[in-house]
Amino acid sequence: MNKQKTFSFKVSDELKNEMMEYFEFKKRDKTPPYALFQADEEDTVVTLYESGKVVFQGISADIDADMWKQREKALTGKDVIEKVKKDKEEKKDNTDYYFINSIGSDEVGTGDYFGPIVVTASYVNKKYIGFLEELGVRDSKKITDEKIYKIAPEIIKRIPHVTIILTNKQYNEIYSDNINMNRIKAILHNKALCTLINKEKFDYEMIVVDQFEIPKSYYNHLKESKYIVRNINFTTKAEDKCLSVACSSIISRYIFLNEMKKLSNELGIFIPLGAGPIVDDTAKKIKDKFGINKLKDIAKLNFKNTEKIQ
């Protein structure tokens, strides 16, 4: 079994900004609470938190951590105080999520300052495995945006699905101390799953959702919902294991990218993805051109980016 290594240390503001820029196009769509981003660097997952703490996890975590330690020293002249967690064997989930009839959901846009949150639930029958493999769906997170534009319309035509779009105007109206991002995600996933399951009688063996909360917390977010889809299999990196989640990921991404294009055309300004420094610059341009109130309709105001431009 591969050994899972974890290294963490605190970085300076200079290195934080450099890392934000370096990982801009390697970031995952999902971002843990209080994190600026989570990104993939070969066999290492890198998470940078608002506090300046950076965590490296994976087989090559020691190599990647050492590289950034050296960069920190070059910038500040100071040695990094590092914390190392004891190596542990990576637990393997041997559940067969792949060669089954499944329903799965995935979301896009929760880590982006601009653009809506898009959640899609899809049903994949085993007979479509060959079709989806030919399109390259299995590695959905590694697919370029250019390829998504080519294959998503084919998936949309053949695979039953339901998509829910939450605009940033709606997001800003409901976000509060009691309704945080994870609760919003749980509500949207549940709505998409409920709508799909009630749309038609699908012959599915499993419902799969990429785990962003422990099941108890997920269902607790839904205690006020009238209808709740239960018996969900929550697993990490679900889009790599389950074709219905992968399809949902691609469809959500396709719709999200189209919404970002529409916004860029409407404003006459290119709207970037993510929440890094380039996004701050764009937000300032929008504020100068349209006024600060425009951001209420097109940006997630609780993100740190809002503070930086006010």
- Euclidean distance between CA atoms 113 and 105, whole angstroms: 22
Pair 125, 170 in one domain: yes
* 221 belongs to a structural domain: yes
CATH number at residue 36: 3.30.310.10
Compute the average pLDDT of residues 4-15: 86
The CATH number covering residue 173 comes to 3.30.420.10
Looking at the structure, tell me whether residues 80 and 116 fall in a common domain.
no
Q: Are residues 79 and 138 in the same domain?
A: no
Same domain, 72 and 138: no
d(CA 12, CA 10): 7
Look at residue 274 and tell me if it is in a domain: no
Q: What is the pLDDT of residues 186-245, one digit of tens each?
A: 999 999 999 999 999 999 999 999 988 889 999 999 999 999 999 999 998 899 899 999
Domain membership of residue 179 (yes or no) is yes
In the chain, the N- to C-terminal Cα span, in Å, equals 50
The pTM of the full predicted model, rounded to 2 decimals, is: 0.74
Q: Tokens in use for 251?
A: 């469809």
Domain of 16?
A: 3-89
Asked if residue 212 lies in contact with residue 190, where contact means CB atoms within 8 angstroms, the answer is: no
Same domain, 106 and 60: no
**pLDDT per residue over 157-167, tens digit each?**
999 999 999 99
Once rounded to an integer, what is the mean pLDDT over residues 3-16? Answer: 85
Single-letter amino acid code for the residue at 33: P
Residue 281 to residue 116: CA distance in whole angstroms: 19
Q: How many domains does the chain have?
A: 2
Q: Is the same domain home to 75 and 180?
A: no
Cβ(122)–Cβ(247) below 8 Å: yes
Asked whether residue 295 is domain-assigned, the answer is no
| Residue 272 forms part of a structural domain | no
What are the C-alpha distances in Å from 47 to residues 8, 39, 176, 190, 309?
9, 6, 25, 27, 24
